[in-house]
Each structure stands twice: as structure tokens, then as C-alpha cells.
A and B are shown apart, each in its own frame.
Chain A
Amino acid sequence: MSAKNTALQHHFNDLDQQYQASQLGMWAFLVQELLFFGGLFAGYVVYRNLYPEAWTLGSHELDVSLGSTNTAILILSSLTMAMAVYWAQKGQKTKLVLFLVATLILGCSFLGIKVIEYSHKVQHHLLPGNGFSFDSPLADQVRIFFSFYFAMTGMHAFHMIVGAGILIWLIVQAMKGRYTAEYNTPIEMFGLYWHFVDVVWIYLFPLLYLIGRN
């Protein structure tokens, strides 16, 4: 009962109203995120249609095995996050913390692999900018491919980094016993965010790595 009272903010009538407000707010935020990435996807589509050959050349420079590994890691992290939400709703503190930590580790692994990929690209002079060079008559167009590659995956990685930061905070709160079977809204809302970021990658991976390889 006391947990209920501390979790309820003064301007809501009851926890249910507060929960529903958080849920709608999170979904509205995700819609906003969708349109934010949507601008990049729209640009991608336009240039893919303008320069299909350059897109093929660019795709071949990407490391499919690292990309696939990262895809698997992210899907696994979605599973651990879903488990975290489940155990939060059951009020099992230890298991909640365990799965949050697992999610954090998987997220950081993804970012680590991404750093390796980025450094390879930089070494091969594929980072758009003054240092960019690509041995092909289509070099300028391939540069645009890599502009989208870095803008899209970079924006995705930024969301992962923000997510990892929030995860650390949630783990600390969970260890303090802040989340119970009655009140676990932040865990569930963060789960929505985490799944959204995963889904963005699920689209980025085939668009950048796979399509056009054949």
C-alpha cells in the first residue's frame, strides 16, 4: 500500500490513470521517433532509386557477418527485456535485475561490435568527409550511400547509448526495490522504447547490408 502511495503522483486520481497516461505518452513518443527516423528512410529511398549501382557497391563494403551477429544480439536483448518486464510484473526483484543486466550487456556488445565496424570503415577511407576515397567512377554516389549508412546507424547507435544510460538507472532503482507487482510502469515503458530501437535495426540491417548484394 505504501509503495502505491509513493508512486502515485498528485495530479492523477489513481495508479491506473497514471499508468494509462504513461502508456499513451510512450506510444506518442515512439510515433515521434518513427517520423524522426522516417526522414532518413525517405532520403534513403530517394537515393536508392537514383543510384542503384552505387548502392550495390556500398552494400558490398559492409561486413554481413558482423551485421548478422549484431542483429542476433539485438533480438536476444529484446527477449531479455521482455523477460525483465515479465518478472517486474510478477514482483520478482532478483530476476528483474538479472534480466535488466543481461539486456544492458547485450546492448553494450552491440555497440562494441558497431565500434569495430565503424573503425574498419574509417580505415578504408569510407567515412564521408574530406578523407573519403573510393576507387570507382561512382565514388561520389557511394559517398552518399555511406552518408546514409553513418547517419542511420549512427542515429540508431545514439538511441542505444541513451537506452543503455536509462537501463543503468533502472537497474539501480530496481535494486533499491522501487518496482513491485503493483507499480512497474517505468520498466514496461522502457521495454517499449527498447523494442522500438530493435525494430529500427531490423529494418536498417536488410536495407543497408543485404538488399542489392545480388
Chain B
Amino acid sequence: MSTAIFKPRPEQVAQESDGTVSNYLNASFSIRSWLLTVDHKRIAILYLISISAMFFLGGIFAMLIRMELLTPAGDLMQSETYNKMFTMHGVVMVFFFLIPATPAVFGNFLLPLMIGAKDLAFPRLNLLSWYLYTAGALLAIGSIVFGGVDTGWTFYTPYSTTYANSNVILAALGAFIAGFSSILTGLNFIVTIHKMRAPGLTWFKMPLFVWGHYATSIIQVLGTPVVAITIILVALERLFHIGIFNPELGGDPILFQHLFWFYSHPAVYIMILPAMGVISEVITCFSKKKVFGYEFIALSSMAIALLGFLVWGHHMYTSGQSTYASLVFSVLTFLVAIPSAIKVFNWTATLYKGSVSYDAPMLYAIGFLGLFTIGGLTGVFLATLAVDVHVHDTYFIVAHFHYIMVGGSIMGYMAALHFWWPKITGRLYPEGWARFSALIIFIGFNLTFFPQFVVGYLGMPRRYHIYPEEFQIWNVFSTAGSSILGIGYLIPLIYLIWSLKSGPKASPNPWNAKGLEWERCPSPPPTHNFDHTPVVIEEAYAYEHKIWIK
């Protein structure tokens, strides 16, 4: 049994070791052929590399924050430095990892494969979006190199516009440009899903991964431009003192919060909906069972996307907005729990009586279920006006959104990374190490963030580098957990890079999964994806169907 975990099953390994088969990776090797590629699969790889770099950069800031918070005194850095640390952690992680991660890497790679298309509708636009992302990331890194930003990732006015003496414009411009990368990706996905589906692939035969990305794309196209124009107004205010957000000149800083959260709340769903799409794929595959309530999962993604636009005011209960507005936002926020719960119940029902196996992607998916449920339920607490006023700007909030964004989005991202790694690279990773690190990440994550619920409820505010001594025990747990979590993320980095050269070659369908990308494509796929455009007859996830035929 113990060796079985560490050795791939025979059907996972490619049968013939014929190295001459042409695929998208060995089609050409020049740097130019990568940097000017219009192949969605290669662009996905470019994204994977740059997004991973940004993830580890953001992770370094997180580790520095946790080290400072190990003791109540400010012994590692001063408050100004600490402000810059949490700001840059937030900016890098939100705008350059969480928002683009799953759509830009896995959406890009898989969407055309899953719907039987040769590429996305606008391949050159797709390449442009990677360059925009890179330009935005370089600006953000530039703002760090030239001294950092200290406004918090939310760039709240009037601090960001009038008082902050840091590189606000540079960092905001980075987010602005990366935003257009996000818009173009969303636009490309919408058109591709509408117009490029293979014959027979009707809307309700599409994989739920595609549905998740469709809902995400709608938010990207509708939400991102609003934050873009808001960032322009912030820059104008800072440069020319135009007065729109400056109360001294008659401006209204709360308007900034409205415009900012009109995008930035739906942005949370940009992070989680693609991850939910991944979870639907992984849970069905490793239960070997048709997903329970396909239509409900598909449409609940759309419901989340639409409701997500109506709840931004729950970030502003204490901002001075009208009580009636807060009441309405509170009720609407409760409604988001319904489609979210529909998904969780359907995934759980899919597990019921399935033949469940616990490969690494499945461990991440199960981890997702647990963490997302905790994050979601605490979201219901926070939608409640009175509770939110009590815990506003405490570590309770920090813990809540990390459970959703890290526990939800990153677990989904890691599940996707492991599930499709054999398809993307044509290599198998060491399953034993992968399961081990999934476990480490789950333990490290909970140890990091669960104590923050407690210490936040006890009253520890966020964004301070010093705190009263009675909070230290919880912070020690949290910092210890973050070290475990950090190691958990380093292990996959090592074995995945190792597997690129030394991993066993993967068969076309190592998980015995359903879907065009597994059943009609070799691993890795050829440049044009399919020799013949596939015709789809089967419904999605016809796992049981296959077993009966056998």
C-alpha cells in the first residue's frame, strides 16, 4: 500500500515511449516562439510562470507580516514598514495572483479543449492580455522597489489621494493595467463559449468548469471597468487635486468606497467561481459518478455572478452610509448563501455512493469543501449588521476572507494544478509527495487562520504591527501555522519542477476522467488541439454510462 502511493498506476503511464510525437511544447523551442505565441496553451504556461512568481512574492510579504506579529512589540519593523508589508501583500495577492490565477492559467489552457475548439476566439488579444498582466506586474514591483505603498490594497481615499507619501500612483496604475488584462480574458472567454463550441455541445452539456468561467467572465467584463475609471480618478486627484474624493474641497471619499467595492466585491467571485468550476470537475472524476444536480450547479454560478453585483455595501456598514441601505445590502448578502450552499450540497451529494478515491486533486477538493464552508458561514455572520459592526476591521474579517480567498481559491487552484498537470506537461508528479503536501497545506492553513477568528472576536484590530500581550498566544499559533503553510507550498514547487524532467510520461487519460480534453487529446495536446473537430453526443460526466458499457 505504501509503495502504491508513490508509484503511478500502470494505466497512468504512457504506453509507448515514442518521443517523436509533435505537441504544443516541442513544436518549436526558440524564446521568440514562446513570447510571440498565439497558442492558448503556451499563453497559459506564460501565465503559470508569471503568476507563480507573483504568488511567491506575495508569500514573502505574508511571512514577514507573520514574523512581526509573533511578539506583541514592534521588534522586526516599524509601523510604516508594516503598513507597506500588508499593502503589498494585498496588492500582489489580489490583483496579480487570485484574480487572474485560475482563469488565466487553467481557463486559458482548458476552455478551448473542453469545448472542442482549436483556440480561443481572439488569440492575439489573448497574448496581449498576458503582456498587459506582465506590464501591470512590473509596475507593481516597481512601486515596491521604489519604496512601497502604504494605503492598504483598497487604496481608500482621502488617505491615498491626499496624505499618503508612497508610490500610490505606480501601484494603482499596475492594478489598472492588470485590470484590462482581466477584461480581455473575460471577453475572449464569453465569445469563445458562445461561438466556438463543437457540434452537439449544447449549453447544458458543457463541463461545469466552463460554466464557472462563463459566470466569471461576465463579472470581469462588467465590473473591472468601473474600478479602472475609479483608479483614474484617484490618480487625477493625487496629481491635480481635482477635489472629487477630497472632503476639504467638497468631495466625497465614501463615493470612492462605493465605486471600489462595486468591482472589488464581485472580484471575490472572480476568484472563487473558477475554483468552484475546478471542484465540480475533480469531485465527479474521483467519485466516478455523474455530478449531482448539474443544472443547479451551473445556474448557481450565474446566480452568484448576478447577486455579487448587488452586495458591495456590506463592506461599508460602518462608513456612514444610510442604515436603510445597509439593511438592504445585508438582506441581499444573505441571499448569496443560497447558491453557494446549493453548490456545496450538490458536491456532497455527488460523493454519496460514489467510488471515491483520494488522489491529490481530490484531497484538495475535499479540503476546499471544508474551508469554503467555514469561510462561507462566517460570511453569513458578517452579513448580519450588528455582528459586523462588532467585528469590523478585526482579525475576524481577515480570517473570514482568507478562508474564502486562500482556503477556497487556492485550494481550487492547487486541485486544478495537480488534476491537469499530466495533461499540461505530459508528465506525472509523485503522488505520495502530492498527498503529503495537500495535507500539510490543509493543516498549516487552519492553524494560521482559525486562531485569527478567535483573536478577532476578542477584539484584535487588523493592520497594526503591535498588539496587547493577551493576544500573543493566538498570534503564535498563527505564525507557526503560516510556516507550515509556507513549507506546504514549497514542496509542490520542488516536485512539480522535478517531474518536468524526471516524472514518468503520462497517458492521455491518467485519471480515467470524462471530458474532451482527456478522451480526445493526447498528453500534452498537439498545437491545434484536435485532428478532427469532435462531435459531442454524450452528456457531461457520463461516468456511470461508461461503467455499464464495460
Question: B-contacting residues of A (Cβ < 8 Å)?
Answer: 9-13, 17, 20-21, 24-25, 28-29, 31-33, 35-40, 42-43, 46-47, 50-51, 128-130, 140-141, 143-144, 147-148, 150-151, 155
B150 at the interface (CB under 8 A from A): no
A37 and B229 alpha carbons, distance in the complex (Å): 7
B251 at the interface (CB under 8 A from A): yes
Q: A39-B230, A46-B255 are in contact. List 12 more A-B contacts (CB 8 A).
A: A21-B121, A21-B122, A25-B188, A28-B187, A31-B222, A35-B225, A36-B225, A39-B225, A39-B226, A39-B229, A128-B243, A143-B242
Chain A residue numbers with a CB within 8 Å of B533 are 13
Residues 208-241 of B contacting A (Cβ, < 8 Å):
221-226, 228-230, 232-233, 236, 240-241
Closest to B226 in A: A39
Q: Which of A20, A38, A144 contacts B244 (CB 8 A)?
A: A144
Q: Which of B222, B228, B242 contacts A128 (CB 8 A)?
A: B242
Q: Which of A10, A39, A40, A140 contacts B249 (CB 8 A)?
A: A140
A46 and B244 alpha carbons, distance in the complex (Å): 11
Chain A residue numbers with a CB within 8 Å of B528 are 10
Q: How large is the interface on B (under 10, 10 to 19, 20 to 34, 35 or more residues)?
A: 35 or more
Chain B residue numbers with a CB within 8 Å of A20 are 195
Chain A proximity of B161: nearest CB distance (Å): 12
Q: Mark B185-197, 1 if CB is under 8 A from A, else 0.
A: 0011011101110
Chain B proximity of A39: nearest CB distance (Å): 4
B183 at the interface (CB under 8 A from A): yes
B123 at the interface (CB under 8 A from A): yes
Q: Are B243 and A147 in contact (CB under 8 A)?
A: yes
Q: Are B121 and A32 in contact (CB under 8 A)?
A: no
B259 at the interface (CB under 8 A from A): yes
Given A25-B187, A31-B222, A144-B251, A43 contacting B259 (CB threshold 8 A): yes
Given A32-B187, A143-B242, A144-B251, A10 contacting B259 (CB threshold 8 A): no
Q: Which of B120, B236, B241, B259 contacts A39 (CB 8 A)?
A: B259
Closest to A19 in B: B195
A29 and B184 alpha carbons, distance in the complex (Å): 8
A108 and B246 alpha carbons, distance in the complex (Å): 35
B414 at the interface (CB under 8 A from A): no
B10 at the interface (CB under 8 A from A): no
A4 and B236 alpha carbons, distance in the complex (Å): 47
B252 at the interface (CB under 8 A from A): yes
Closest to B122 in A: A25
Q: Are B242 and A24 in contact (CB under 8 A)?
A: no
Chain B proximity of A162: nearest CB distance (Å): 13
Q: Which of B192, B194, B236 contacts A151 (CB 8 A)?
A: B236
Q: Are B226 and A24 in contact (CB under 8 A)?
A: no
Q: Which of A25, A37, A130, A150 contacts B121 (CB 8 A)?
A: A25
Q: Are B249 and A144 in contact (CB under 8 A)?
A: yes
Q: Are B229 and A147 in contact (CB under 8 A)?
A: no
Chain A residue numbers with a CB within 8 Å of B252 are 46-47, 50
B19 at the interface (CB under 8 A from A): no
Chain B residue numbers with a CB within 8 Å of A36 are 225-226, 228-229
A26 and B118 alpha carbons, distance in the complex (Å): 21
A33 and B221 alpha carbons, distance in the complex (Å): 9
